[in-house]
Amino acid sequence: MAETHQLSQSAHDRLRAEYEDLTTRGRIDIARKIEVAREMGDLSENGDYHAAKEEQGKMEGRIMHLASILENAEIVADGAGGGDIVRAGSIVSVLYEGDDEPEQFLVGSIEEKRDDVMVVSPGSPMGIALLGAAIGDDVEYDSPGGSIKIEIVAID
C-alpha cells in the first residue's frame, strides 16, 4: 500500500504545477537536447548525448516521484493561525532541555520545505512525539544519541 502524503493546498498546487511543467515543457526540451546531441555523431564518445540522457533519467525519476506523491496526497489545513494541538502542517516552537532559545519546526512533508523553518516528518521519532501534543507539554523521543526531551512553547 502506498504511503499517504499530507500536504497543504499550497504545496499540492506547487507540486502539481511542477509535474505539469516537467511532463510537457521538460520532456520537449530534453528530447530536443538528445536530438541535437545525436546529430553530432558517434554516440559512444558523445558527452553531450550522455549528459542529456542522464538529465532525462533524473527528470523522469522526479516525474515518477511527483506522480506518486500527488496520487497519494491528502490535503490538510496549512496549520496557520495557531491551534491547541500539534498536527500535520503546524509550525511548532520547541525548547530543548538545557537550551535557552526555542527552535521552530514545520511538521510535514519535505515537500513543504521553506527557507525560514526546518521540516520534521510526521513519521519521524520527533514528529510522532509532537503530533497531538499541546503548548506546555513536555515530550520525549529516542534519537541515535539517546533520549531527547523537548517542551512545546508555541504552535503557529
pLDDT digits (tens, 9 = 90+) for 82-133: 578 998 888 899 999 889 999 999 988 888 887 788 999 888 999 999 999 9
pLDDT, tens only, 35-80: 999 888 888 888 889 999 999 999 999 999 999 999 998 887 655 4
**Three-class SS state of 81:** coil
Whether the pTM exceeds 0.85: the reply is no
Whether residue 50 is contained in a domain is answered as yes
- The CATH number covering residue 40 comes to 1.10.287.180
Alpha-carbon gap, residue 98 to 81, rounded angstroms: 29
Query: Given this model, what pLDDT does residue 101 score?
Result: 93
Is residue 84, in this structure, part of any structural domain at all? Answer: no
Cα separation of 103 and 118, whole Å? 9
Where does a domain end: 45, 75, 105? Answer: 75
- Which of 28, 43, 75 is the C-terminal boundary of a domain? 75
The CATH number linked to 132 is: 3.10.50.30
What's the total number of domains in the chain?
A: 2
pLDDT at 2 over 80: no
Task: Give me the domain span that covers residue 13.
Answer: 5-75
